[in-house]
């Protein structure tokens, strides 16, 4: 059997390697139009910033490695121009000699990946404008910085690449301005969590311009859509990627609703003996079962392995994903998995959310706070998603949520998890435990929470609402929720007699715990509708200031 793979990065090489493990007699050939293969794209920003000195650390395997270990022939600088699915032939150009030739296949794997989204901007082809997509682009950016020593740079986009580039360019002493076309930063976070993150960035004196985009690039500045001029002698476009599906379209391979190649759970396309994997395909959500496009290295490796197994008669199948992502910049870590609140509402779930602010470990072990936003379904009590902004231990917690959501866990099960505990690693009740307790109280115990956004909306609309600040007077005097009255927790039982038990009531403290205690007091005294402010005043203040 002759197996041909188009593309030699994560998905293509994974498919070929798995096919070889299953079938030692097959002829396996990979065509790659780039010079570099099997590289870690996620590590490229750290090479640019100098944290990774040697680029070979990100490109540990070359053509010779695959030939020696797997007996796989990889031809770099070879571009596949056309697929003939009826004759099972390929038209290929050698990019070094420009010779065009044909090859045949019995089984074909398309792993053409994704290409950067290129916005319509005058001057986008200037030599100081860069897209970070492959090893060569990373080389070009680092070389430009060394040679030209730019003082000001603009990053367009606030996804993973945008923020990772922010940290690494700032480490070179470059003054950075972030431009985001949306009204919020970070597409993988809900509006409130994005606002919380932005409040942290602003305290670090990071310049952010939202709801705007670049209209023109000049030598020493960019012109924005609203006419504003921003100094810049270097521009990084990090506006996302789109699936590279030209070859597939021309071969009448079905394209899915997301614009990527449609495959089944064995990575088979609608054309016999043609498989696809990696950043060029659409996958599906574990939660909804609906198609999604999630170009991530982890997904590329997984779908590549499944494709290589399936085309050699294996039984591996794809089980969906949760769009899990994580990135760091400076000392901060941001992670997400599953559905956001917005996505869950669009899917028709009866959404319950909470914002839990807890340290990753005790203060005597220098613990730092993380904010966990969790999303659940009131009807089924299933956890639907989580977003975390913190410092250390974020990866541990998000992976716990990934596992829980994958296996359909309910909110009341989180408290019973036997998580590893020792003071250097966590608190006795982990932030995951607390998140489950808050959600379970809201869903099953009649202790609902209300979000900062909802409280702000009710106040702005002039709704009848009584807001109780259960903190000590000094904290209240420093700052408080609009319209709130100060009734410290220690005096609330007596002070509650002056409140209307029939009016919607919101209690809060700094982060939520004392607010919940105040909520319990009022409920036990017969108040009809009492909510605790999710995330307390700390989260309210951060999102309101934004």
Residue labelled with tokens 């220098």: 366
Instruction: Kindly indicate the confidence band of residue 504, based on its pLDDT and cuts at 50, 70 and 90.
Output: very high
pTM of the shown model? 0.94
**C-alpha distance across the termini of the chain, in Å:** 60
| 530 has pLDDT over 60 | yes
Going along the chain from its start, the domains and CATH numbers come out as 2-114+242-310 (3.50.50.60), 129-239 (3.50.50.60), 325-444 (3.50.50.60), 449-545 (3.40.250.10)
Distance CA 224, CA 201 (A): 22
Decide if 376 contacts 349 (C-beta within 8 A). Answer: no
Task: Compute the average pLDDT of residues 247-271.
Answer: 98
* Burial of residue 133, with CB atoms counted within 10 A of its CB: 0-12 exposed, 13-18 middle, 19 or more buried: middle
How far CA 213 is from CA of 68, 167, 177, 394, in Å, comes to: 49, 21, 12, 31
491 three-state secondary structure? helix
Distance CA 294, CA 45 (A): 20
How far CA 97 is from CA of 31, 102, 103, in Å, comes to: 15, 15, 17
| 545 has pLDDT over 70 | no
Known active-site residue 354: no
Cβ partners under 8 Å of residue 470, min gap 6: 487, 488, 489, 492, 507, 508, 509, 514, 515, 517, 518
Q: What is the pLDDT of residue 150?
A: 95
How far CA 281 is from CA of 110, 116, 265, in Å, comes to: 9, 15, 11
* Chain segment 107-149, per-residue pLDDT in tens: 999 999 999 999 999 999 999 999 998 899 999 999 999 999 9
Q: How many CB atoms lie within 10 A of CB 362?
A: 14
Among residues 326, 323, 311, 319, the alpha carbon closest in space to that of 14 is found at 311
Among residues 334, 430, 432, the alpha carbon closest in space to that of 389 is found at 334
Instruction: Kindly indicate the confidence band of residue 546, based on its pLDDT and cuts at 50, 70 and 90.
Output: very low
* Chain segment 426-445, per-residue pLDDT in tens: 999 999 999 999 999 999 99
Q: What is the pLDDT of residue 508?
A: 98
- The catalytic residue among 42, 280, 354, 509 is 42
């Amino acid at each position: 059997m002759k197996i041909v793979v188009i593309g030699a990065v994560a998905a293509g090489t994974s498919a070929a390697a798995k096919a070889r493990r299953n079938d030692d007699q097959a002829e396996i050939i990979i065509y790659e139009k780039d010079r570099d293969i099997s590289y870690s794209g996620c590590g490229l920003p750290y090479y640019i910033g100098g944290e990774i000195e040697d680029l070979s650390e990100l490109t540990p395997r070359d053509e010779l490695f695959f030939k020696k270990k797997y007996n796989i022939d990889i031809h770099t600088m070879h571009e596949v121009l056309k697929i003939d699915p009826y004759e099972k032939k390929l038209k290929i150009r050698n990019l070094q000699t420009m010779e065009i030739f044909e090859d045949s296949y019995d089984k074909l794997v398309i792993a053409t990946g994704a290409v950067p989204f290129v916005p319509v901007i005058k001057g986008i082809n200037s030599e100081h404008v860069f897209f970070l997509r492959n090893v060569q682009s990373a080389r070009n950016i680092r070389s430009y910085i060394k040679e030209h020593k730019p003082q000001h740079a603009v990053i367009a986009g606030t996804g993973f690449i945008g923020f990772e580039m922010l940290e690494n360019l700032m480490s070179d002493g470059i003054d950075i301005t972030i431009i985001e076309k949306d009204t919020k930063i970070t597409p993988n976070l809900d509006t409130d969590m994005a606002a919380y993150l932005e409040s942290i960035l602003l305290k670090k004196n990071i310049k952010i311009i939202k709801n705007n985009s670049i209209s023109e690039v000049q030598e020493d500045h960019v012109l924005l859509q609203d006419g504003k001029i921003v100094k810049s002698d270097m521009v990084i476009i990090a506006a996302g990627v789109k699936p590279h599906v030209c070859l597939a379209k021309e071969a009448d391979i079905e394209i899915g609703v997301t614009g990527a190649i449609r495959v089944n759970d064995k990575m088979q396309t609608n054309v016999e003996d043609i498989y696809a994997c990696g950043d060029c395909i659409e996958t599906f959500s574990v939660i909804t079962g609906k198609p999604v496009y999630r170009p991530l290295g982890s997904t590329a490796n997984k779908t590549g392995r499944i494709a290589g197994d399936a085309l050699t008669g294996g039984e591996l199948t794809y089980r969906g994903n949760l769009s899990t992502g994580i990135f760091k910049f400076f000392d901060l870590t941001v992670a997400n998995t599953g559905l956001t609140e917005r996505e869950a509402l669009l899917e028709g779930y009866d959404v319950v959310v909470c914002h839990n602010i807890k340290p990753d470990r005790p203060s005597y072990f220098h613990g730092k706070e993380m904010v966990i936003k969790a999303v659940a379904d009131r009807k089924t009590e299933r956890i639907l998603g989580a977003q975390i902004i913190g410092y250390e231990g974020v990866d541990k917690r998000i992976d716990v949520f990934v596992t829980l959501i994958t296996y359909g866990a309910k909110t009341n099960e989180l408290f019973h998890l036997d998580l590893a505990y020792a003071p250097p690693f966590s608190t006795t009740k982990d932030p995951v435990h607390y998140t489950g307790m808050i959600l379970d109280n809201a869903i099953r115990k009649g202790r609902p929470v209300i979000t900062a956004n909802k409280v702000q909306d009710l106040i702005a609309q002039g709704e009848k609402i009584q807001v109780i600040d259960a903190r000590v007077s000094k904290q209240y005097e420093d700052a408080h929720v609009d319209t709130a009255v100060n009734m410290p927790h220690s005096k609330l039982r007596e002070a509650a007699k002056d409140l209307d038990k029939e009016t919607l009531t919101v209690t809060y403290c700094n982060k939520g715990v004392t607010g919940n205690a105040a909520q319990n007091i009022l409920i036990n005294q017969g108040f009809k509708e009492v909510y605790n402010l999710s995330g307390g005043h700390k989260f309210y203040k951060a999102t309101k200031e934004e």
